[in-house]
């Protein structure tokens, strides 16, 4: 095999390679994970994931793995993001709260589907990173706020949709209380090695319906209560 150490590639070639990698991500990672909603699949082709990845990991933007972020956090795997987006079934008139802005990528996807997105990020460096990414992407209906998301954003609620972009030990009641009737909350619930993406729908003032949609693993969100560990 010949190696061309001094090979150069035109911008057009680079762009074609990126688009091929994006296509492969959608067809080989995301679609096989039962993400079949045409609106979600087309959105993944439009919102440029590579623009929300730290420069050092840009080449890994379409890889089936979590990507390190500032503050010791991680972007969820592309297939996790896509499946959660599909299950939430966000509509244009809806108001969304996200806990854990991360790189801003999930907020960007939600902003294309919703009327308004508020995303809370506890790490100041990461909140700035997400806000800068969203601004560069030209997304004006998503606001990043540096805040502890474990309490939600009661003053701005209630919300049609709440997404906790990480894992928690149990579905937080404080977030459920900030849902409208008919609203949906998605998060990943449990502890390693067993975690399940869960969708909770508020069906009445005090009634909720919970559905587990897939097994997965995700980093912990900060600030949420952990179960008591017994010691003998």
Beta pairing class for 67-68 and 74-75: antiparallel
- Find the domain containing 143 and state its range: 13-216
Task: Identify whether 2 is part of a domain.
Answer: no
Residues 118-137: tens digit of each pLDDT = 999 999 999 999 999 999 99
Q: Look at residue 143 and tell me whether its pLDDT is greater than 60.
A: yes
Task: Identify whether 222 is part of a domain.
Answer: no
Average pLDDT of the chain, as a whole number: 92
Task: Identify whether 156 is part of a domain.
Answer: yes
Q: Indicate the angle between helix axes 38-46 and 11-24, nearest 10 degrees.
A: 150
Task: Identify whether 166 is part of a domain.
Answer: yes
Task: Identify whether 223 is part of a domain.
Answer: no
Q: Look at residue 230 and tell me whether its pLDDT is greater than 60.
A: no
Residue 4 CB burial class (10 angstroms; 0-12, 13-18, ≥19): exposed
Q: What is the domain-level CATH number for residue 73? A: 3.40.50.150
Task: Identify whether 142 is part of a domain.
Answer: yes
C-beta atoms surrounding 211 within 10 Å? 12
Number of domains in the chain: 1
Q: Which band of pLDDT confidence, cut at 50, 70 and 90, is reported for residue 28?
A: very high
Task: Identify whether 1 is part of a domain.
Answer: no
Among residues of the chain, what percentage have pLDDT more than 90?
86
């Amino acid at each position: 095999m010949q190696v061309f150490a001094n090979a150069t590639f035109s911008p057009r070639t680079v762009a074609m390679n990126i688009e091929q990698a994006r296509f492969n991500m959608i067809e080989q990672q995301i679609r096989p994970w039962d993400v079949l909603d045409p609106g979600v699949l087309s959105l993944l082709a439009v919102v440029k994931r590579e623009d929300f990845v730290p420069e050092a990991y840009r080449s890994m933007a379409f890889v089936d793995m979590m990507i390190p972020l500032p503050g010791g956090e991680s972007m969820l795997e592309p297939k996790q993001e896509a499946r959660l987006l599909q299950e939430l079934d966000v509509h244009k008139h809806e108001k969304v709260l996200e806990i854990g802005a991360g790189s801003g990528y999930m907020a960007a996807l939600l902003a294309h589907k919703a009327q308004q997105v508020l995303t809370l990020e506890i790490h100041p460096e990461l909140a700035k990173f997400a806000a800068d990414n969203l601004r560069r992407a030209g997304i004006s209906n998503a606001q990043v706020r540096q805040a502890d998301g474990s309490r939600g954003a009661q003053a701005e609620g209630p919300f049609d949709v709440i997404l906790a972009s990480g894992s928690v030990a149990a579905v937080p009641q404080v977030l459920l209380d900030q849902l409208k009737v008919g609203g949906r909350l998605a998060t990943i619930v449990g502890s390693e090695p067993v975690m399940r993406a869960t969708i909770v729908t508020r069906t009445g003032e005090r009634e909720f319906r919970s559905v587990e949609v897939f097994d997965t693993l995700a980093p912990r969100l900060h600030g949420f209560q952990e179960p008591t560990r017994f010691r003998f």
